[in-house]
A = this chain, B = another copy of it.
Amino acid sequence: MSGLAMPAVFAQGSTGNGVQKQNRQSKYSSAMMKEKILYDTDIGSDIDDSLCLAYLLNQKQCDLLGITTVTGEPVVRAMLASALLKAAGRDDIPIYPGVEKPLLTPQKQPEAHQSKYLPKYPHEEKFPEGEAIEFLRRTIRAHPNEITLLATGPFTNIALLFAVDPEIPSLLKKLVVMGGAFTYRYKGEPCLSEWNARCDPYATAMMYRAPVKEIVSVGLDVTSKVVLEKDEIIERFNAGILKTALDFSGILDNTRQEIVFHDPLAATVIFKKEICDFKRGNVEIEIGSSRLEGLTYWEADEKGKNEVAFNVNKDMFFDHFFSTIAGK
């Protein structure tokens, strides 16, 4: 870990929890040192959202203030998040189903396919209706400049949050997103636009234009480098919440042969930024071309508000991810 690159609050590493055990007062001060996180997710489509949530729940530096879901069947997605929270013994964390449809374009992600696994796992069935944006808004206003908003699904909720109360962007500590394809590559092949951005291009444009102090983007070109094959997944997903995630993943019933850790990678850089190499600059979003809406334009600019990942230390990522999950 590079002390130079990291804010003091992380640089102290894993000593925080030890302190918490001493007494309530110090526990309070240690809680102040945690990262307050709000997590907006399309959990229920690909498995990586579940792995991201598993990571956040096991990351001792993470104070997860709430979860919002987005895209098709947001209530089902909330149930899936609830199942994971219950499995982790953390159902104190509030979950709000968010917005189902993109602002103006056709729905690309209508269903939460992992719903088929729900009957096996206890979960909440009822959630507040239509209150996800207001929940995010109130929570951020209650903790000005302290909250990191992590978004790993299409950006409809985020765009609406920023539009509904235009002071919100500037009240965030930062916004971290899994999204974009800044070098136009996916696994070595040309890829002009990334799924989250393409699912709601107008929302993506609204999000990137908002006056957030810092937007950290981990795009498809980088996330696609952190992949595990089936055999290794079965070997390593052998306990606790990872067993549940493995069950959701489609690996065991052979509907998929590998897992790409898109969303977990975005989450880990909140806590260990050196996992990726970032460049500072500006990001804009294409909305004029119906074929390429959601394409991310990138230009380097030292004064830009965006930090975009251009490379990843794959070993460092997996070491950090699995050791965090293992509670080390």
A163 touching B160 in the complex, CB below 8 Å, given contacts A205-B104, A206-B104, A291-B297: yes
Count A-side interface residues using an 8 Å CB cutoff. Answer: 39
Q: Whose C-beta in chain B lies nearest to the C-beta of A74?
A: B166
Centre residue among A100, A129, A291 by max chain B CB count within 10 A? A291
Residues of B within 8 A of A164 (CB): 99, 130, 133-134, 160, 164
Query: 1/0 contact trace for A197-232 toward B, CB 8 Å?
Result: 000001001100100000000000000000000000
- The answer to whether B167 touches A129 (Cβ under 8 A) is yes
A165 interface hit (Cβ, 8 Å): yes
Q: Whose C-beta in chain B lies nearest to the C-beta of A133?
A: B164
A292 touching B290 in the complex, CB below 8 Å, given contacts A99-B164, A167-B129: no
A183 interface hit (Cβ, 8 Å): yes
Residues of B within 8 A of A287 (CB): 104
- The answer to whether A286 touches B297 (Cβ under 8 A) is no
- The answer to whether B202 touches A104 (Cβ under 8 A) is yes
Interchain CA distance A303-B162 in the complex, whole Å: 36
A163 touching B99 in the complex, CB below 8 Å, given contacts A202-B202, A287-B104: yes
Could you list 11 A-B pairs, sorted by A, with CB under 8 Å? A130-B137, A130-B164, A130-B166, A134-B134, A156-B163, A160-B160, A160-B163, A184-B184, A184-B190, A288-B289, A288-B291
